[in-house]
Amino acid sequence: MVVGDFPIETDTLVIGAGPGGYVAAIRAAQLGQKVTIVEKGNLGGVCLNVGCIPSKALISASHRYENALESEEFGIKAENVSLDFSKLQEWKGSVVNKLTSGVEGLLKGNKVEIVKGEAYFVDDHNIRVMDEKSAQTYTFKNAIIATGSHPIELPTFKFSDRVLDSTGALNLKELPEKLVVIGGGYVGTELGTAYANLGTEVTILEGADDILSGFEKQMTSLVTKGLKKKKVNVVTKAMAKGVEETKDGVKVTYEAGGKEETVEADYVLVTVGRKPNTDELGLEQVGVKLNDRGLIEVDKQCRTSVNNIYAIGDIVPGLPLAHKASYEGKIAAEAISGQPSEVDYIGMPAVVFSEPELATVGYTEQQAKDEGIDITAAKFPFAANGRALSLNSTDGFMKLITRKEDGLVIGAQIAGSNASDVISELGLAIEAGMTAEDIAMTIHAHPTLGEISMEAAEKALGTPIHIM
């Protein structure tokens, strides 16, 4: 091993180049800091390489295929529709490559030094970066830890060629005829739906009473209904017990309704959560405190228990969302630069690319009631929107949560087509302190799905036009 003779000095050192780390590095560089970013894998982290982006590419392709097969209602009949799965995977890879190369260009354009290797804290101002051939010490004034997370492996479902994590499920060389998904959270539901669209026979095993437990029942029931239409077998209150692997597939054993059942498939996908990447960083060397879940404790500026070390993303408390990591990365970089920036998660959206899509921001109706807030919950259906009708996508609704005393928008939930895009307007409304009247008086283009926000606001005011 070749060892660097002298430490390399930098102002801010970022560990991890995912959506939290690379954004933090760029913002810190914009604010005049000399920045070094360390990444042991590919730039872009899980999100760009094996998470958000490739999964949405797969979902998008699955919609294209499904539409090609099922457009007779529009008078469009396609014959001999076929799927070249290897070509689909090749296209998905090209999307990933464009984005990861774009991240590299952005970092270099902002004069961020990119270092490949694994980082280990020596003390609160020095880290050791190692790869297979060399090691180098870096001395920093401040550090931002953005190392992300990895899939949880169940003791009875060890990952293998047939027992997959999300990365494995996204990189299959062949389209499975049958797939079992353990876990009906957002990853399991999204990937299960995508493969069902492509023709795979899918079974989802969920231990809770319902899939997508973080969302309201009236929202998830629409997703469950859609999955049943695709002939996806959703088994709730199911406990996965074990797997028997064969040369050509798997046999999964689970318990549901007091009975032990088995289901055979080509593969089993395990999506039961993620674990923070906080091991093997040397955090104990510098006294960075973790909570009982292994997450790093931080203040409102993302500062850890060590004054000059910050942490963001999946390794700190909160939902494991890429946009949350990016947001926290900006806050940490600004705090290091002496700005009074602090996190405020009230406008943080969460989205599931299910069918229909689900999105939420701010308070839900129940959360507001639990906190004793007197609210109006105004619900407007997609079926009453012209654009939704023209898209033949009328399942769903928007629910706008406003404070009754002044009409302040404090939350919104959407289940329906393009919910992932429409939710941004409501996030802006919450962040800007807008009222239902502000949204209602904003002229929305017609015909668009965005009009649903205006219609829900008008209903909150008691003056709806397109619904009784």
Q: What is the DSSP string of 112-167?
A: PEEEESEEEEEETTEEEEE-SSEEEEEEEEEEEE---EEEPPBTTB---SSEE-HH
Q: What is the mean pLDDT of residues 99-122?
A: 97
The per-residue pLDDT for 1 is 36
The per-residue pLDDT for 247 is 84
CA pair distance 458, 446, nearest whole angstrom: 16
Which fold is adopted by the domain 163-272?
A: FAD/NAD(P)-binding domain (3.50.50)
Write down the CATH number for the domain with range 356-460: 3.30.390.30
Give me 466's structure tokens.
């397109």
Write down the CATH number for the domain with range 2-150+275-345: 3.50.50.60
CA pair distance 456, 467, nearest whole angstrom: 10
**Do 163-272 and 356-460 come out as alike in CATH topology?**
no
pLDDT one-digit tens code per residue, 5-22: 689 999 999 999 999 999
Q: Is the pLDDT of residue 282 over 90?
A: yes
Angle of helix 186-197 versus helix 217-229 axis, rounded to 10: 30
433 torsion bin: left (phi>0), alpha (psi -120 to 50), beta (else) = left
CA pair distance 379, 92, nearest whole angstrom: 37
The amino acid at 115:
V
Nearest to 266 by CA among 168, 365, 341, 125: 168
CA pair distance 299, 316, nearest whole angstrom: 10
- Per-residue pLDDT band at 376 (split at 50, 70, 90): very high
The amino acid at 62:
S
Q: Is the pLDDT of residue 235 over 60?
A: yes
Longest CA–CA span in the chain (Å) reads 76
Give me 164's structure tokens.
């997959």
Q: What is the mean pLDDT of residues 25-49?
A: 97
Q: Is the pLDDT of residue 375 over 90?
A: yes
At 327 the three-state DSSP class reads helix
Give me 19's structure tokens.
């959506």
CA pair distance 336, 340, nearest whole angstrom: 10
* pTM: predicted TM-score of the whole model, two decimal places: 0.95
- Per-residue pLDDT band at 4 (split at 50, 70, 90): low
> For the chain, what is the mean pLDDT?
96
Calculate the CA 364 to chain-centre distance: 19
pLDDT one-digit tens code per residue, 251-268: 999 999 999 999 999 999
Q: What is the mean pLDDT of residues 200-213?
A: 97
CA pair distance 67, 96, nearest whole angstrom: 24
- Per-residue pLDDT band at 133 (split at 50, 70, 90): confident
How would you class 356 by CB atoms within 10 Å of its CB: exposed for 0-12, middle for 13-18, buried for 19 or more? buried
CA pair distance 2, 465, nearest whole angstrom: 73
The per-residue pLDDT for 415 is 98
Taking CB atoms within 8 Å and a gap of at least 24, the contacts of 116-122 are 116/38, 116/39, 116/40, 117/38, 117/40, 118/38, 118/40, 118/280, 119/13, 119/15, 119/38, 119/40, 119/281, 120/280, 120/281, 120/282, 121/281, 121/282, 121/283, 121/285, 121/286, 122/282, 122/285
Q: Does 446 participate in catalysis according to the annotation?
A: yes
Domain boundaries, the chain: 2-150+275-345, 163-272, 356-460
The per-residue pLDDT for 321 is 96
CA pair distance 34, 27, nearest whole angstrom: 11
The per-residue pLDDT for 116 is 96
Catalytic residue (one of 150, 323, 446, 466): 446
Kindly tell me the number of DSSP H helices and DSSP E strands found in the chain.
Answer: 14, 23
Q: Which residues have a Cβ under 8 Å from the Cβ of 23 and sit 6 or more positions away?
A: 325, 326, 329, 330
Q: What is the mean pLDDT of residues 50-65?
A: 96
The per-residue pLDDT for 5 is 61
The per-residue pLDDT for 2 is 42
pLDDT one-digit tens code per residue, 89-105: 999 999 999 999 999 99
